[in-house]
Chains A and B, each alone.
Chain A
Amino acid sequence: MAEITASSIESVLRRQLDAIMTSVESREVGTVIQVGDGIARVDGLKDAMSGELLEFVGAGSQVVFGLAQNLEEDEVGAVLLGDVTVIRENDQVRTTGRIVEVPSGVNFLGRVVDPLGEPLDGKGPIVADGYRPVEFRAPGVIERQGVNEPVQTGILAVDSMIPIGRGQRELIIGDRQTGKTAIAVDTIINSKGKDLICIYVAIGQKASTVASVVETLHRFDALDYTIVVSATAADPAPLQYIAPMAGAAMGEYFMYNGVDGQPASATNPGRHVLCIYDDLSKQAVAYRQMSLTLRRPPGREAYPGDVFYLHSRLLERAVKLSDENGAGSLTALPVIETQAGDVSAYIPTNVISITDGQIFLQSDLFFQGQRPAINVGISVSRVGSSAQIKAMKQVAGSLRLDLAAYRELQAFAQFGSDLDKATLDQLARGARMTELLKQGRYVPMAVEDQVVSIFAGNEGFLDGIPVEAVLRFRAELLQYLRAAHPQIGEIIRNEKQLSEQTSELLRNAIAEFLEQFATQL
């Protein structure tokens, strides 16, 4: 610990005193006419800009910030971003000339903060490396390049058939309690050591749920590269409204700046970020509440007319930057909660049309035991195989079609009793491949393990095993390969493809293991 001396105290004090500005400035001021429900109407402020940060000076000179939302002829409607109880009628309001900014930097990793960057985890103040505006123009076409690197979620069903790439927007959609957050958390856990900064934005959730997520991330050492931005159900609607944008802004700091903190460029690569917005349905509800209180005219389902723009401008900030701009990326995993599986409702259809694919989770699959409860038939990734390593493309290329054929056959087979051998074999293979896709929580699979598992299924090694033994087979096979043939996993990891030689090696190793396994059945 550095020794504290009188001269060090003096130098710190002098530096801070020099930073004090004593100049007198002329500022535009207004007066609060009405305040309530997190909204304030302000008289005056004729030069206020839309989205400008306003300073409300309350009792005891306490300052509360607000956002100018409604610019009317002789008053401004603003949303309050802090303790609304200190603001009363006749209080003074000042313009600041700037929009809302949030701090960001490496010191935020491992911390839980509110949408304004204030720490919530009791671990002390955070020194920011820089500030980013909450509302930021998404990069244009020229500044981007195509998605070409995978985000490995560690979930077999996702990485094989609904691959996500860095810079993509992939929606996770489903009813309550279907495992949406579990997919997001598993993705974060699996991002360890993969040079991916994760930002989990909790919007309108119970504080206990957020605490549980934080505890899970901590347990799996995933918090070290994660920022949790929390706007719980107890927080005012304006904070829930800006939370996803604050998360995106914090992520953009890392994407637009290199490790040295300097702007990213061709010689100074930007970093890769994963932003999870859990969930945007609640952000839309908060925005609806704010807009109705601001007396904006309601549209469909009482949402304001620009609710689509709310989500589209947020999700457009997900990007894979061109090499000239540092090649950093921001991947977005928005979450939407449906009611009774209705994906044709207003907000779900809006977000589906914005994103580059969706992962559908269905309650009936969940209760049938298929977990993760992903309906692979209607889930899609529009980026597709350009976000997969070659080895995965080789083994999982036809998996989706095979499973689709299996489901069709399964429905048909319910009516018929006499089936030919080919049909029975196809049904048996489909049942085992479907069983193979099951996976527990917080046990993400490395990509080489996924490749091996699907390879085993494709080559027919599962055909002789009872369906209920498939998962045990998979687990023990992977353990066996790690112990007896570690070079196979290493080859797949390094070469990222299955050569003929590797395939033969793998085939022989699995056959070897199957002999032992079969004796235990």
Chain B
Amino acid sequence: MTTKPILAKAKAAVYAEVLLKTAPDPNSIFELASQFDQLLKTVRGSAELALTLANQHLAARERRAIAHEVFIHLRPELLAVFEVMVERGDLDVLARAHAQFERRAEQALGVVIIDVTTVVPLDERLRSLIIKKYASQLGSGVRLREHVDPGLAGGIILSLHGRRIDASVVSQLQSARSVLIRP
């Protein structure tokens, strides 16, 4: 049995734990979770960036400097942890570290984090409606991570723990289209 997955898991746990411990307060934990999510999406979304940060032919301090420059807007705790990850060539554990941090953050905050995507920003009424509904279903506190995507045309998409509830207008229209164009 290869030790590499075990090692990767252990490393990811260390990064997640350190990041959690550096957060000064619960609100920071939530903000760190959101920024970590964005960081992961950014790295994944750009193959060039990912390859550069993982490029072993570049000196470690060079990779660290690139990471610092690109992600300077992040919270300093997250940036510091990410720079260490890049410097040590541990970019392949980024996704695991993110998953582990999300889990730890939810445990620390005593909530479940739900990603909500809507066409326009949520108003207070809708926000509290969603929180109330899922708090009762999940038996736990709920914290929303809100996103805006005009491409949905309407409706709402909810994502939590790898599951997605898509009630957006655009997906309903796509479903209707696929039925109507069927021969």
A interface, CB within 8 angstroms of B: 16-17, 19-22, 24-33, 43-46, 61, 73-74, 88-90, 92, 94, 125-127
Contact = CB atoms under 8 A, between A and B. Distances in A.
A46 B183 contact: no
Interface string B18-52: 00000000000000000000000100111100000
A30 B166 CA distance: 14
Contacts of B44: 31-33, 89-90
Given A20-B175, A20-B176, A89-B47, A43 B95 contact: yes
B165 A74 contact: no
B179 A20 contact: yes
B65 interface: no
A74 B95 contact: yes
12 contacts: A17-B176, A22-B175, A28-B163, A28-B164, A29-B164, A31-B44, A32-B44, A73-B5, A74-B95, A74-B99, A89-B44, A125-B183
Interface string B146-157: 000000000000
Nearest to A72: B5
Interface string B45-86: 111000000000000000000000000000000000000000
Interface in B150-183: 159, 162-167, 170, 172, 174-176, 179-180, 182-183
B interface majority secondary structure: helix
Given A16-B180, A20-B175, A25-B166, 6 more contacts: A22-B175, A31-B44, A32-B44, A33-B44, A73-B5, A92-B164
A398 to B, nearest CB: 56
B96 interface: yes
Contacts, number: 59
Contacts of B159: 29
Contacts of A17: 176
A145 B54 CA distance: 60
Given A16-B179, A19-B179, A43-B95, A28 B162 contact: yes
Max chain A Cβ within 10 angstroms of own Cβ: one of B47, B162, B170, B183: B162
B165 to A, nearest CB: 5
Contacts of B162: 28-30, 44-46
Nearest to A16: B180
A61 B99 contact: no
A427 to B, nearest CB: 64
A29 B164 CA distance: 6
A24 B163 contact: no
B96 A21 contact: no
Nearest to B45: A90
Given A16-B180, A61-B174, A90-B45, A74 B163 contact: no
Nearest to B158: A26
A88 B172 CA distance: 23
B165 A26 contact: yes
Contacts of A28: 162-164
A113 to B, nearest CB: 14
Given A24-B166, A26-B163, A27-B166, A90 B99 contact: no
Contacts of A89: 44-47
Nearest to A43: B95
A110 B6 CA distance: 55
Nearest to B168: A24
A127 B183 contact: yes
Closest 5 CB pairs of A and B: A125-B183, A29-B164, A24-B167, A90-B45, A20-B176
Nearest to A46: B162
A26 B171 CA distance: 13
A19 B177 CA distance: 11
A46 B96 CA distance: 13
A27 to B, nearest CB: 6
B93 to A, nearest CB: 10
Contact of B170 (A20, A24, A61): A61
Interface string B88-113: 00000001100100000000000000
A24 B179 contact: no
A27 B165 CA distance: 7
A74 B183 CA distance: 39
A125 B167 CA distance: 31
B35 to A, nearest CB: 16
A94 B162 CA distance: 10
Given A22-B172, A90-B41, A33 B95 contact: yes
A29 B45 CA distance: 17
Contacts of A43: 95
B96 A74 contact: yes
Contacts of B176: 17, 20
Interface in B112-152: none
B179 A27 contact: no
A46 B47 CA distance: 24
A17 B182 CA distance: 12
B43 to A, nearest CB: 9
A7 to B, nearest CB: 19
B164 A26 contact: yes
Contacts of A29: 159, 162-164
A26 B134 CA distance: 14
Max chain A Cβ within 10 angstroms of own Cβ: one of B41, B164, B175: B164
A171 to B, nearest CB: 38
B67 to A, nearest CB: 18
Contacts of A45: 162
B45 A24 contact: no
Contacts of B179: 16, 19-21
